[in-house]
Amino acid sequence: MFGELLIAILAALLSHSQDVSHADTAQCKCIPSEACWPTQAEWKSLNDSVLGQLIANTPVAAVCYPGHQYSAGQCATIDALWTNTTFQQNQPLGYSYPLSVPCPPVVVSDGEVPGNCSFGNAPAYTVNATTIEHVTKGIAFAKKHNIRLVKRNTGHDALGRSTGYGSLQIWIRYLRTGITFHEKFTASPSLWNGSAFTIGGGYVWNDVYPHATSRGLVVVGGGTPTVGCIGGWMQGGGHSPATRDFGLGADQVLQAQIVLANGSLVTVGPLQHPDLFFAIRGGGPGTYGVVVSTTVKAWPTTNVVVQTLAFAPLTAGFVPHFMEALTDLYAAYPALSDGGWWVVLDFVIL
Ligand SMILES: Cc1cc2nc3c(=O)[nH]c(=O)nc-3n(C[C@H](O)[C@H](O)[C@H](O)COP(=O)(O)OP(=O)(O)OC[C@H]3O[C@@H](n4cnc5c(N)ncnc54)[C@H](O)[C@@H]3O)c2cc1C
Ligand SMILES: *[C@@H]1O[C@H](CO)[C@@H](O)[C@H](O)[C@H]1NC(C)=O
Ligand SMILES: *[C@@H]1O[C@H](CO)[C@@H](O)[C@H](O)[C@H]1NC(C)=O
Ligand SMILES: *[C@@H]1O[C@H](CO)[C@@H](O)[C@H](O)[C@H]1NC(C)=O
Ligand SMILES: *[C@@H]1O[C@H](CO)[C@@H](O)[C@H](O)[C@H]1NC(C)=O
Ligand SMILES: *[C@@H]1O[C@H](CO)[C@@H](O)[C@H](O)[C@H]1NC(C)=O
Ligand SMILES: *[C@@H]1O[C@H](CO)[C@@H](O)[C@H](O)[C@H]1NC(C)=O
């Protein structure tokens, strides 16, 4: 009896897995080595439709490697800027530490030949979107040609969710329709009656903080001001020095604009597309369309006391004590939080 049941279950599982693998093959995305990959003429037509904003990607440090792009001078410049976050953010394929880049800058001494510069899992093309129409065109092209679509804002994502082999990347860094202040913003009276800012595109918190500070207001943004406002930070939750007092980044969003997979631009809020409004606020980035603006709460500013504690093991022998001290610190977090402190731990790896 059990044997028969087991066989029945196995048979069901097997037929299921066959169905799945069949479906997977049918739905595989097209990659650059395949005949289905768009032709040069098709890429050109996409480029024309986005008014020349299409980039054929090359690794940031390609100039350091043998080939037509090689330039010792440019390579030295890139090497010097490599750990500069702003510099990386301005490159279509620039990523933040600790994402490992397959093609790092190498300063080659005479006679030495570096390995080949591999593209790794980087997207093949980038739509450097400056308008919502560019976003729409990019989505339509990827859909029509069955190629993978990647959304990129700052390239900060340590899980690599803003990269992907053989894809078309939509880059929103230069999609900037303005930072607009609302003295009073009421998407729904039960949600908020106070001030708010609409962040129209790929701004980082560094761009937004001065608008709030100059009005005696505070917005809940990244502790590191180079994090993007409307992308992975908010859609993944969003931690802030102000979270202890005002909640997570996702809790701040009163309304958003999203380009859906079908190309439509929708406004989502507590009363419009409430399911989508719920999903983007912490439901995981890059999943529910391309967010092109958010409207976030602005709070009256408040005075805070800041204290920084830095400690490090000065010798290898001290590491066990360091770990013990770290454990004590972690254990104190709940009490510190109950006492009104927001605590952040920054690791510096030397
Ligand atoms: C230096 C540094 C400091 C950080 N500081 C903080 C911090 O203080 N608090 C905190 O909570 N986190 C922090 N993080 C983590 C950061 O919030 C996440 O890495 C986040 O995913 C980055 O989002 P992004 O949009 O800036 O980056 P990206 O890497 O460009 O994108 C991240 C994800 O969001 C998706 N995405 C981007 N734009 C859109 C869009 N418009 N619509 C839909 N999906 C989109 C991408 O596809 C990807 O999945 C930090 C990371 C770094 C590298
Ligand atoms: C897109 O067009 C612009 C302007 O003509 C050009 O500079 C750019 O190289 C083109 N991109 C690609 C991928 O051909
Ligand atoms: C980092 O790079 C940006 C943009 O390339 C530049 O403006 C800035 O001066 C650089 N910062 C440092 C510390 O080099
Ligand atoms: C680089 O790639 C070329 C062409 O594929 C190959 O012939 C060469 O051996 C590679 N060099 C290194 C150092 O891997
Ligand atoms: C992307 O577009 C913006 C706006 O046109 C431009 O300033 C920037 O240089 C472009 N970036 C790249 C890498 O081409
Ligand atoms: C906003 O104002 C309305 C009307 O005065 C009130 O009923 C509601 O509770 C307020 N909402 C918030 C979040 O304060
Ligand atoms: C796209 O989907 C949304 C939500 O289902 C719908 O409201 C809209 O009409 C659709 N747009 C197109 C062009 O089909």
Contact 94, 87 (CB under 8 A): yes
C-alpha pair distances (Å), 24 with each of 10, 135, 143, 288? 21, 27, 17, 21
C-alpha–C-alpha distance, residues 288 and 253, integer Å: 15
Phi, psi of 142 (to 5 degrees): -60, -40
Contact 117, 65 (CB under 8 A): yes
Q: What is the pLDDT of residue 116?
A: 77
Q: Tokens for 18, please give them.
A: 């066959």
- Strands (E) in the chain, as ranges, are 54-56, 125-128, 148-152, 167-171, 176-182, 195-201, 217-218, 253-259, 265-268, 290-300
Ligand 1 mean position to 49 CA, how many Å? 28
C-alpha–C-alpha distance, residues 28 and 30, integer Å: 6
C-alpha pair distances (Å), 30 with each of 53, 158, 168? 22, 25, 11
Matching residue, tokens 């990647």: 150
CATH of domain 176-300: 3.30.465.10
The upper half-sphere exposure of residue 55, i.e. CA atoms within 13 Å in the direction of its Cβ, equals 17
Contact 53, 134 (CB under 8 A): yes
10 Å Cβ neighbour count for 274?
Answer: 12
The CATH number of 40-171, from 3.90.420.10, 3.40.50.720, 3.40.190.10, 3.30.43.10, is 3.30.43.10
| Nearest in space to 127 (alpha carbons), one of 150, 96, 101 | 150
- 264 touches ligand 7 (CB under 6 Å): yes
- 233 touches ligand 1 (CB under 6 Å): yes
Matching residue, tokens 């809940």: 220
- 174 touches ligand 3 (CB under 6 Å): no
Q: What is the pLDDT of residue 344?
A: 78
C-alpha–C-alpha distance, residues 325 and 308, integer Å: 16
Residues of the chain with CATH 3.30.465.10: 176-300
Ligand 6 mean position to 270 CA, how many Å? 15
Residues of the chain with CATH 3.30.43.10: 40-171
Q: What is the pLDDT of residue 111?
A: 62
Ligand 6 mean position to 271 CA, how many Å? 16
- 87 touches ligand 3 (CB under 6 Å): yes
Matching residue, tokens 């290898």: 316
Tens digit of each residue's pLDDT, the chain (350 residues): 444 444 444 444 444 444 444 444 557 999 999 999 999 999 999 999 999 999 999 999 999 888 888 898 999 999 999 988 899 999 999 988 667 778 888 766 666 666 778 888 899 999 999 999 999 999 999 999 999 999 999 999 988 899 999 999 999 999 999 999 999 999 887 889 999 999 999 999 999 999 999 999 999 999 889 999 999 999 999 999 999 899 999 999 999 999 999 999 999 999 999 999 999 999 999 999 999 999 999 999 989 898 888 888 889 999 999 999 999 989 999 999 899 888 877 766 55
Residue 70 CA, chain-centre distance (Å), reads: 30
C-alpha–C-alpha distance, residues 295 and 145, integer Å: 34
By 3-state DSSP, what share of the chain in percent is helix, strand and coil, each rounded to 5? Answer: 35, 15, 50
C-alpha–C-alpha distance, residues 105 and 250, integer Å: 37
| Nearest in space to 298 (alpha carbons), one of 128, 139, 181, 179 | 181
Residues 6+ apart with CB under 8 A from 144: none
Ligand 6 mean position to 296 CA, how many Å? 17
Q: What is the pLDDT of residue 190?
A: 83
Contact 250, 240 (CB under 8 A): no
Phi, psi of 252 (to 5 degrees): -85, -20
